[in-house]
Amino acid sequence: MDGTFKDNDISHIVEADRAHVWHHLSQHKPYETTDPRIFVEGKGMRIWDQKGKEHIDAVAGGVWTVNVGYGRESIADVVREQLVKLNFFGGSAGSIPGAIFSEMLISKMPGMSRVYYCSSGSEANEKAFKMVRQIAVKRFGGKKHKILYRDRDYHGSTIACMGAGGQYERNAHYGPFPDGFVSVPHCLEYRKHEQAGAPDENYGVWAANEIEKVILREGPETIGALCLEPVTAGGGVITPPDGYWERIREICDQYEILLHIDEVVCGVGRTGTWFGYQHFGIKPDMVSMAKGVASGYAAISCLVTTETVFDMFKDDASDPLNYFRDISTFGGCTAGPAAAIENMKIIERENLLENTIAMGDYMLDQLNALSDKHAVIGQARGKGLFLGAELVEDRASKTPMSEKMVGAVVADCMQQGVIIGATNRSVPGKNNTLCFSPALIATKDDIDQIIGAVDGALGRVFG
């Protein structure tokens, strides 16, 4: 084996994979009798596996990542050029692509000012948590150190991120988690009948006020930050109800709580604005982002803060501990910002934000049309090209469809060469949402193909 893929050595690749690769989120027992799936090539919206089977990818690399589509030579070219010039230096020094991308990024985020580079979404969130803790020590005698997270949100796979994770099935068996993370209720209006006291009107403001109740219970003087996804991803593609975000910002201002928005999925175009929070006209204090920043062409994540947050780490230079004493080795890889610059240029050059809005509206309409035909769709929802269809046993009771049946729909689509996603092993008893996040280049024809496959799958699985 020399690492090059040739048609005639695929059996060696499959055997090497079966023998040595530990796949993410996977039970490996079935691979004792079936071949693991290996993808070998991608172009645009399409991807081919080891058997040469073509698939249309409706989930952008499985996990909402390849926003500009596969096979982008212009990104490969700029990354190559940068790597041969200078591949790496630790992040205590700057780099040319790092400086340029920070300027481009901040130009899309009015009110924000500083970019901290790292290499995964979990890591960017960890940086935010550390900043909150350090600010607590510096300004509040350590007291204002708690971090609020929301039921059904996810912030990453590390132990602290799981401590801040509201998907309790995902967290199971990995505790104990660190202290100081406190849950607040979710804002899924479709399931408000499960939340005591939820009103028929103004649910969004009510759901935000439920967070205020937690703040008052814990003591505002103990809460440093509120960490939320703009649109909850793996917890069920939850679009926030009207009035929610505006009230959240007011609450954070009132109690001097930093608002940390986790844009790891929504960031850089997924919902049709550069960032998900920009739909709601609010200003965060910290924003983490990862997946779509370079569409998976290089590993890069960023934690972006306001100048006010940044200033707290430089105001007293005589104190040897008064700066952010943190490093991310691979935050110094120049491939990340080099790829991110070209990724952003592609989104601008090809008007992909506009396409995302137009195609997102079209796809949501098509999902709604499917729900007229298939009673199993309880609700279709989402923003831009980030969409979900929650499946239920019956619409009146909204009893969630079992994860097994939802999985059968995903498997049927895969059989048809259409890759869709579903919430899985996340929220106990509520892993019942089909997920769609095609690349931002998707056309009507692509969407018709995806919807057609889902239509056929729902018909076959549920009759």
**Which residues in this chain contact ligand PLP in the complex, by CB under 6 A?**
63, 120-122, 125, 154-157, 229, 233-234, 262, 264-265, 290
Q: Give residue number: closest CB to ligand PLP.
A: 121
| 206 vs 386 by CB, closer to ligand PLP | 386
Q: Could you give the C-alpha distances from 363 to 214, 274, 437, in angstroms and in order?
A: 37, 20, 10
Q: What is the nearest approach in angstroms of ligand PLP to the Cβ of residue 300?
A: 10
Q: What is the nearest approach in angstroms of ligand PLP to the Cβ of residue 158?
A: 8
Q: Could you give the C-alpha distances from 347 to 44, 141, 425, 444, 457, in angstroms and in order?
A: 14, 45, 33, 18, 32
Listed residue (344, 269, 328) closest to 78, CA to CA: 344
| 165 vs 378 by CB, closer to ligand PLP | 165
Phi, psi of 24 (to 5 degrees): -70, 150
Helical (H) or strand (E) element with 196: none
DSSP string covering 336-363, please?
Answer: HHHHHHHHHHHHHHTTHHHHHHHHHHHH
CB 40 within 8 Å of CB 7: no
Q: What is the nearest approach in angstroms of ligand PLP to the Cβ of residue 81?
A: 26
Listed residue (404, 410, 407, 405) closest to 376, CA to CA: 405
Q: What is the nearest approach in angstroms of ligand PLP to the Cβ of residue 277?
A: 13
| 137 vs 172 by CB, closer to ligand PLP | 172
DSSP string covering 119-185, please?
Answer: SSHHHHHHHHHHHHHHHHHHHHTT-S-EEEEETT----SSHHHHHT---HHHHTTS-PPPSSEEEE-
Q: What is the nearest approach in angstroms of ligand PLP to the Cβ of residue 143?
A: 27
Phi, psi of 206 (to 5 degrees): -60, -45
CB 293 within 8 Å of CB 260: no
Q: What is the nearest approach in angstroms of ligand PLP to the Cβ of residue 63?
A: 6
Q: What is the nearest approach in angstroms of ligand PLP to the Cβ of residue 262?
A: 5
| 65 vs 356 by CB, closer to ligand PLP | 65
Instruction: Find how far residue 161's CA is from the centre of its chain.
Output: 13
| 162 vs 376 by CB, closer to ligand PLP | 162
Q: DSSP state, 317?
A: T
| 300 vs 458 by CB, closer to ligand PLP | 300
Neighbours of 51 (CB within 10 A): 11
Token readout for 244 is 């929610």
| 226 vs 377 by CB, closer to ligand PLP | 226
CA atoms in the 13 A half-sphere facing the CB of 79? 19
Q: What is the nearest approach in angstroms of ligand PLP to the Cβ of residue 278?
A: 17
Q: What is the nearest approach in angstroms of ligand PLP to the Cβ of residue 167?
A: 10
Torsion, CA 301, CA 307, CA 313, CA 314, rounded to 10: 130
| 127 vs 144 by CB, closer to ligand PLP | 127
| 363 vs 435 by CB, closer to ligand PLP | 435
